[in-house]
Amino acid sequence: MTTATQEKETTENAATDQPVELSAEQSRVVNYLANKFLNNVQLSEALSVISLNQLLQLVQQQVIKQATRDVQTMQEEQLEKLLEEAQEFEKNLSQQV
């Protein structure tokens, strides 16, 4: 696959939010670049491009996607333990109100 073809495929996948299969090395580079970009972003720059509400919604969507992926790969014992933690958290939260 040529570089131009790879770039087109990556752009298309990014536009449709489809998972892209990467090698371990490519994944490391993606993580490095993403962190590098994030480290260079100032909050004021981010907010000049997108509203705080939109930013929060995007973060929430990504967090939910990550949590969903994590839950799908959990063993039953892990899931049960976290369910107990969630129930305890909800109980404590309702007591505060």
pLDDT in tens, 31-83: 888 777 777 777 777 778 888 888 889 889 989 988 998 989 989 999 999 99
- How far apart are the C-alpha atoms of 77 and 43, rounded to whole Å? 39
Structural domain of 39: 23-96
Q: Write out the H or E segment, with its range, that includes residue 64.
A: helix 52-73
Q: Tell me if 86 is assigned to some domain.
A: yes
Q: Tell me if 9 is assigned to some domain.
A: no
**For residue 85, what are its two tokens?**
């933690």
Q: Tell me if 42 is assigned to some domain.
A: yes
Q: 9-38, pLDDT tens digit by residue?
A: 444 444 456 667 888 888 888 888 877 777
- How far apart are the C-alpha atoms of 68 and 79, rounded to whole Å? 12
Q: Tell me if 28 is assigned to some domain.
A: yes
Q: State the total domains in the chain.
A: 1
Q: Say what the pLDDT of residue 89 is.
A: 92
Q: Tell me if 8 is assigned to some domain.
A: no
Q: Tell me if 2 is assigned to some domain.
A: no
CA torsion 43-47-51-53 (nearest 10°) is 0
* Phi then psi dihedrals of residue 21, to 5 deg: -85, 120
